[in-house]
Structure 1
């Protein structure tokens, strides 16, 4: 056991820039890669404000550095070090699971040429087709090794030191989950659509969510019983509905009187353009998932369906991106909007009629 690396050695040996910052946003610890990236020794960096050393052009990332509740990941973003441009990086900031006062900033500099990706048209341009698969293959094996090493270290550490190995294991599992969801976004298989009674899918999704709360949660509905069958992939549609209902539950978690509704209706005027042409397609069946939570901030409204954008402190920002992709795969659409007097928010799904 004495030959195993210590938690300190593992931290020092990780290949990305790592900085631990305290509740006042000051740097408390750095690894050697961070010293090299910033161009200063740990002795000079510790105690300085993180924003003095690292700067971003994107205001969301600037705010994340000084927001104690921010858990955020961003990919291929420009960064500056002490005002000097340092190229593109993958950036991650999140709280230490065992002690929310501390946060870890992770920065992975990218090669100047960037990864090889396959470009898609229209709304799919932002999704890399090849990169997630390459990442999944090349990263999951070393992740498993890191987790295994942390489990071995557990046996020789005291309780205080074990919190560090627990953090390593939790973060390894989080990264593996993130890779799985990124790979879901890159899937190019066509949706297996069929004629479906949408109300039956809604009922299944609602029951799954309500069951998890042992009767303490009620999702109400206002259904149009005359709706025709829709043309969707049942499994994909279930995932869309479950994601949206789960988001509504999270958004109303602190409400004294939470109100979550699912509404269906037929809209004769709903038509959308087809990417790359002047053709219009009618999507007359609408499903509305509505809640009385605080909604999305104005700053994020235009980016809510983009990958890695999240309003949750522990969110990865892939749920709504996946919802949009699945809807597009089924030739449907999704829209976010404020409802009525702007006290409620709603996501509207637009679906094609079968036949």
Structure 2
């Protein structure tokens, strides 16, 4: 039997330009195609900052190069090499699953003659507005009107009906804060964490989802009542929970006997390593959101937390990317896996415990 090629041989033989960059955004390894495309030998490239050699005209891609948490794919975008226009490329940047301190950059040059993406002129650049900024502006205005209408309606309702208007106002405020976060999706920002009873947040998220779907769904729970308080941002955590519960409802809507279950438990083994040191951050509280839907296709399992990757026909692929970012901002983690005999899907949230007393 012929020996299989080594990982080194495979890396060297791939047709795209490949760069491995470290947590300081410095080039650690390149393949021969990358040497040819960048016009530099590996000896000159290794140790250099990646943005010294590669530049984009799109601010989101510029930030992705120097954001260690960014996972992004872009197609037919203009690229410059050390300030020199190098045409259009397909570009991918992803963390290495086995060790997220490392990322792989893949660049596939496209032949000339195809559609050309317009490069903004220097006069346009100061006035350019990113899509999330426009989205935030256009949504916040009607949100303010909805909140105002709920406040007026609240005055004329009976006492037993006012919880519904309170829910509307609370959800409007939460969505407004979410929009602020979406406008900086590609950046790491500290969360406003506080000690919270996680079960109260799960109950709020469940009530919101059940109400949104007309009350005809059931979300079961298996709570550990002895759990300590967790250290999270309540608004961010609500968004994480509602995103995952909404996904579970969508995944099971065509199943005759659907099942959605939320489990909480304390685990002594979960911990988070801090890059650049030997410090370990313990994440002992787990929330498991499980459903019996079809799950994520095998070919997408490694990419589901990347922006613009979606299993829904009408999805935009931002929900799970946002979940991952919000959990990271709160020093937590999220994981997807098949449960038990692989018939069920589950997302597991790992959270830190608030300091006691």
Which range, TM-score by smaller chain? 0.5 to 0.7
Q: Which has the higher contact order (CA 8 A, sep 6+)?
A: 1
1:256 and 2:256 aligned: yes
Task: Indicate the residue corresponding to 1:77 in structure 2.
Answer: 75
Task: Indicate the residue corresponding to 2:216 in structure 1.
Answer: 216
Provide the alpha-carbon RMSD of the alignment.
Answer: 3.8
Give 5+ residue unaligned stretches, structure 1: 1-73, 80-84, 91-106, 114-129, 143-178
Structure 1's 342 and 139: CA in aligned 2 closer, same or farther, altered over 3 A? Answer: closer
Task: Indicate the residue corresponding to 2:33 in structure 1.
Answer: none
1:10-69 Cα deviation digits (max 9, x unpaired): xxxxxxxxxxxxxxxxxxxxxxxxxxxxxxxxxxxxxxxxxxxxxxxxxxxxxxxxxxxx
Structure 1's 288 and 137: CA in aligned 2 closer, same or farther, altered over 3 A? Answer: closer
Deviation at 1:239, TM superposition (A): 0.3
TM-score (norm: length of structure 1): 0.53
Structure 1's 254 and 137: CA in aligned 2 closer, same or farther, altered over 3 A? Answer: closer
Task: Indicate the residue corresponding to 1:295 in structure 2.
Answer: 295
Structure 1's 109 and 349: CA in aligned 2 closer, same or farther, altered over 3 A? Answer: farther
1:328 and 2:338 aligned: no
* Contact 2:248–2:260, Cα closer than 8 Å, also in 1: yes
Provide the rounded CA distance (Å) in 2 between the counterparts of 1:182 and 1:108: 30
Specify the SS of the correspondent of 1:350. Answer: strand
TM-score (norm: length of structure 2): 0.53
Task: Indicate the residue corresponding to 1:88 in structure 2.
Answer: 89
Provide the rounded CA distance (Å) in 1 between the counterparts of 2:208 and 2:132: 29
Provide the rounded CA distance (Å) in 1 between the counterparts of 2:212 and 2:130: 35
Deviation at 1:281, TM superposition (A): 1.2
Provide the rounded CA distance (Å) in 1 between the counterparts of 2:284 and 2:310: 29
Deviation at 1:136, TM superposition (A): 4.6
Give 5+ residue unaligned stretches, structure 2: 1-71, 78-85, 92-113, 121-125, 139-178
Specify the SS of the correspondent of 2:185. Answer: helix
Specify the SS of the correspondent of 2:191. Answer: coil
* Contact 1:182–1:318, Cα closer than 8 Å, also in 2: no
Of the structure 1 ranges 179-188 and 333-342, higher mean CA displacement relative to structure 2 is found in 179-188
Specify the SS of the correspondent of 1:303. Answer: coil
Provide the rounded CA distance (Å) in 1 between the counterparts of 2:314 and 2:197: 35
